[in-house]
Amino acid sequence: MNKNLFQVSNRRNALVIGIVLFGLELGIFIFLLVLDASLAVEVLSMIAANHIVGRLAFIGTGLEFGLAAPLIIFIIIFHNTSYLIIVNSLMVFFGEKAGKLKFIRRLIESKKERAKEITQSTTKWSWLSISLFVWLPFPMTGAVMGSLIAYVEGYSIKDALLIVIPSMWIGVICWTLWLDELYGFFESFGKGETIFLTLFLVLFPFFYYLAKKLIKIRKA
Protein backbone atom coordinates (compact mmCIF):
# COMPACT_ATOMS: atom_id res chain seq x y z
CA MET A 1 0.00 0.00 0.00
CA ASN A 2 1.14 3.55 -0.75
CA LYS A 3 2.74 5.08 2.37
CA ASN A 4 1.21 8.54 1.82
CA LEU A 5 -2.23 7.01 1.35
CA PHE A 6 -1.80 5.08 4.60
CA GLN A 7 -0.83 8.27 6.45
CA VAL A 8 -3.85 10.15 5.04
CA SER A 9 -6.08 7.26 6.12
CA ASN A 10 -4.63 7.37 9.65
CA ARG A 11 -5.18 11.11 9.85
CA ARG A 12 -8.74 10.86 8.55
CA ASN A 13 -9.61 8.00 10.93
CA ALA A 14 -8.15 9.90 13.89
CA LEU A 15 -10.12 13.02 12.98
CA VAL A 16 -13.39 11.04 12.70
CA ILE A 17 -12.79 9.43 16.11
CA GLY A 18 -12.05 12.85 17.62
CA ILE A 19 -15.21 14.40 16.15
CA VAL A 20 -17.35 11.48 17.38
CA LEU A 21 -15.91 11.84 20.90
CA PHE A 22 -16.46 15.60 20.83
CA GLY A 23 -20.05 15.12 19.64
CA LEU A 24 -20.65 12.67 22.48
CA GLU A 25 -19.09 15.12 24.94
CA LEU A 26 -21.31 17.93 23.65
CA GLY A 27 -24.39 15.73 23.98
CA ILE A 28 -23.50 14.85 27.59
CA PHE A 29 -22.89 18.52 28.38
CA ILE A 30 -26.29 19.57 26.96
CA PHE A 31 -27.97 16.81 28.98
CA LEU A 32 -26.08 17.96 32.09
CA LEU A 33 -27.08 21.57 31.43
CA VAL A 34 -30.75 20.55 31.47
CA LEU A 35 -30.32 18.26 34.47
CA ASP A 36 -28.07 20.45 36.67
CA ALA A 37 -27.11 23.86 35.26
CA SER A 38 -24.78 24.71 38.17
CA LEU A 39 -22.76 21.51 37.66
CA ALA A 40 -22.62 22.21 33.89
CA VAL A 41 -21.17 25.68 34.61
CA GLU A 42 -18.57 24.13 36.94
CA VAL A 43 -17.51 21.65 34.24
CA LEU A 44 -17.31 24.47 31.69
CA SER A 45 -15.17 26.47 34.14
CA MET A 46 -12.81 23.49 34.47
CA ILE A 47 -12.49 23.18 30.70
CA ALA A 48 -11.84 26.93 30.37
CA ALA A 49 -9.16 26.74 33.08
CA ASN A 50 -7.54 23.85 31.22
CA HIS A 51 -7.25 25.71 27.92
CA ILE A 52 -6.21 29.04 29.43
CA VAL A 53 -3.80 27.82 32.10
CA GLY A 54 -3.27 24.04 31.99
CA ARG A 55 -4.05 20.67 33.52
CA LEU A 56 -3.19 21.59 37.11
CA ALA A 57 -5.71 24.43 37.01
CA PHE A 58 -8.26 22.03 35.47
CA ILE A 59 -7.80 19.63 38.39
CA GLY A 60 -7.60 22.37 41.02
CA THR A 61 -10.79 24.04 39.80
CA GLY A 62 -12.65 20.74 39.96
CA LEU A 63 -11.39 20.01 43.48
CA GLU A 64 -12.26 23.56 44.57
CA PHE A 65 -15.84 22.93 43.39
CA GLY A 66 -15.88 19.83 45.58
CA LEU A 67 -16.08 17.28 42.76
CA ALA A 68 -14.85 13.75 43.49
CA ALA A 69 -11.44 12.80 42.09
CA PRO A 70 -12.78 9.93 39.88
CA LEU A 71 -15.31 12.32 38.27
CA ILE A 72 -12.59 14.91 37.63
CA ILE A 73 -10.36 12.23 36.08
CA PHE A 74 -13.19 11.10 33.79
CA ILE A 75 -13.99 14.67 32.66
CA ILE A 76 -10.36 15.56 31.96
CA ILE A 77 -9.51 12.33 30.16
CA PHE A 78 -12.65 12.42 28.01
CA HIS A 79 -12.30 16.08 27.04
CA ASN A 80 -8.54 16.14 26.52
CA THR A 81 -8.56 12.94 24.47
CA SER A 82 -11.12 14.24 21.97
CA TYR A 83 -9.45 17.66 21.90
CA LEU A 84 -5.98 16.15 21.34
CA ILE A 85 -7.09 13.88 18.51
CA ILE A 86 -8.90 16.69 16.67
CA VAL A 87 -6.14 19.29 17.14
CA ASN A 88 -3.38 16.84 16.24
CA SER A 89 -5.16 15.74 13.06
CA LEU A 90 -5.96 19.30 11.98
CA MET A 91 -2.45 20.57 12.69
CA VAL A 92 -0.91 17.84 10.56
CA PHE A 93 -3.47 18.43 7.79
CA PHE A 94 -3.21 22.24 7.72
CA GLY A 95 0.57 22.10 8.14
CA GLU A 96 0.81 20.02 4.96
CA LYS A 97 -2.12 21.17 2.82
CA ALA A 98 -3.45 24.58 3.75
CA GLY A 99 -1.06 26.85 1.90
CA LYS A 100 -3.79 29.40 1.20
CA LEU A 101 -4.89 29.73 4.84
CA LYS A 102 -1.95 31.89 5.85
CA PHE A 103 -3.10 32.80 9.37
CA ILE A 104 -3.79 29.18 10.36
CA ARG A 105 -0.58 28.01 8.72
CA ARG A 106 1.45 30.65 10.58
CA LEU A 107 -0.11 29.56 13.87
CA ILE A 108 0.67 25.89 13.21
CA GLU A 109 4.18 26.62 11.97
CA SER A 110 4.88 28.66 15.13
CA LYS A 111 3.81 25.67 17.23
CA LYS A 112 6.05 23.39 15.19
CA GLU A 113 8.96 25.80 15.57
CA ARG A 114 8.44 25.78 19.32
CA ALA A 115 8.43 21.98 19.25
CA LYS A 116 11.65 22.04 17.20
CA GLU A 117 13.26 24.34 19.78
CA ILE A 118 12.41 21.80 22.46
CA THR A 119 13.70 18.86 20.42
CA GLN A 120 17.03 20.62 20.00
CA SER A 121 17.48 20.59 23.78
CA THR A 122 17.92 16.80 23.79
CA THR A 123 19.91 14.44 21.61
CA LYS A 124 17.06 12.00 21.00
CA TRP A 125 13.34 12.06 21.80
CA SER A 126 12.47 8.41 22.38
CA TRP A 127 8.93 7.26 23.17
CA LEU A 128 9.94 7.25 26.86
CA SER A 129 11.17 10.87 26.87
CA ILE A 130 8.03 12.01 24.99
CA SER A 131 5.86 10.10 27.50
CA LEU A 132 7.62 11.81 30.42
CA PHE A 133 7.22 15.19 28.72
CA VAL A 134 3.47 14.60 28.34
CA TRP A 135 3.15 13.28 31.91
CA LEU A 136 4.64 16.44 33.42
CA PRO A 137 1.94 19.07 34.16
CA PHE A 138 4.11 22.17 33.79
CA PRO A 139 3.74 25.06 31.30
CA MET A 140 4.78 24.10 27.74
CA THR A 141 4.47 20.38 28.49
CA GLY A 142 1.45 18.24 27.77
CA ALA A 143 -0.28 16.15 25.16
CA VAL A 144 -0.62 18.62 22.27
CA MET A 145 2.99 19.78 22.40
CA GLY A 146 4.14 16.20 23.02
CA SER A 147 2.33 14.99 19.91
CA LEU A 148 3.89 17.82 17.88
CA ILE A 149 7.35 16.85 19.13
CA ALA A 150 6.64 13.26 18.12
CA TYR A 151 5.52 14.48 14.68
CA VAL A 152 8.67 16.61 14.27
CA GLU A 153 10.77 13.60 15.32
CA GLY A 154 9.25 11.57 12.48
CA TYR A 155 6.56 9.54 14.22
CA SER A 156 3.36 8.93 12.27
CA ILE A 157 0.14 10.41 13.64
CA LYS A 158 -0.94 6.92 14.76
CA ASP A 159 2.31 6.22 16.65
CA ALA A 160 2.33 9.72 18.16
CA LEU A 161 -1.18 9.28 19.55
CA LEU A 162 -0.36 5.79 20.84
CA ILE A 163 2.54 7.32 22.81
CA VAL A 164 0.83 10.51 23.94
CA ILE A 165 -2.69 9.39 24.92
CA PRO A 166 -1.72 6.73 27.52
CA SER A 167 0.91 9.11 28.96
CA MET A 168 -1.73 11.83 29.28
CA TRP A 169 -4.17 9.44 30.98
CA ILE A 170 -1.55 8.26 33.48
CA GLY A 171 -0.54 11.87 34.18
CA VAL A 172 -4.15 12.95 34.76
CA ILE A 173 -4.75 10.06 37.17
CA CYS A 174 -1.49 10.65 39.09
CA TRP A 175 -1.79 14.42 39.41
CA THR A 176 -5.50 14.34 40.29
CA LEU A 177 -4.98 11.79 43.07
CA TRP A 178 -1.95 13.66 44.43
CA LEU A 179 -3.71 17.03 44.35
CA ASP A 180 -6.78 15.46 45.97
CA GLU A 181 -4.54 14.44 48.90
CA LEU A 182 -2.98 17.91 48.99
CA TYR A 183 -6.40 19.60 49.02
CA GLY A 184 -7.43 17.30 51.86
CA PHE A 185 -4.34 18.42 53.79
CA PHE A 186 -5.16 22.11 53.20
CA GLU A 187 -8.77 21.55 54.29
CA SER A 188 -7.51 20.37 57.67
CA PHE A 189 -6.49 23.99 58.34
CA GLY A 190 -9.94 25.34 57.42
CA LYS A 191 -12.48 24.88 54.69
CA GLY A 192 -11.61 28.10 52.83
CA GLU A 193 -7.85 27.51 52.82
CA THR A 194 -7.90 25.53 49.56
CA ILE A 195 -8.66 28.71 47.60
CA PHE A 196 -5.02 29.78 48.02
CA LEU A 197 -3.81 26.51 46.49
CA THR A 198 -6.27 26.89 43.60
CA LEU A 199 -5.12 30.47 42.96
CA PHE A 200 -1.52 29.27 42.91
CA LEU A 201 -2.33 26.57 40.35
CA VAL A 202 -4.16 29.12 38.19
CA LEU A 203 -1.55 31.89 38.44
CA PHE A 204 1.63 29.79 38.35
CA PRO A 205 1.82 29.58 34.52
CA PHE A 206 1.46 33.37 34.21
CA PHE A 207 4.33 33.90 36.67
CA TYR A 208 6.34 31.28 34.77
CA TYR A 209 5.87 33.04 31.42
CA LEU A 210 6.63 36.42 33.03
CA ALA A 211 9.85 35.06 34.54
CA LYS A 212 10.90 33.67 31.13
CA LYS A 213 10.24 37.03 29.47
CA LEU A 214 12.28 38.87 32.10
CA ILE A 215 15.17 36.41 31.71
CA LYS A 216 15.13 36.93 27.91
CA ILE A 217 15.08 40.72 28.34
CA ARG A 218 18.03 40.60 30.74
CA LYS A 219 20.03 38.37 28.36
CA ALA A 220 19.33 40.63 25.35
User: How many Cα atoms sit within 13 Å of 159 on the Cβ side?
Assistant: 14
Domain boundaries in the chain?
A: 3-219
Longest dimension (CA), the chain: 64
Q: Which amino acid is at 2?
A: N
> Is 121 within 8 Å of 138 (Cβ atoms)?
no
CA torsion sign, 82 to 68 to 51 to 118? negative
Structure confidence at residue 211 (pLDDT): 76
**pLDDT confidence tier of residue 6, bands split at 50, 70 and 90:** very low
- Residue scoring higher pLDDT (75 or 10): 75
pLDDT at 1 over 50: no
User: Can you give the pLDDT at residue 15?
Assistant: 76
Whether 179 shows a pLDDT value over 80: the answer reads yes
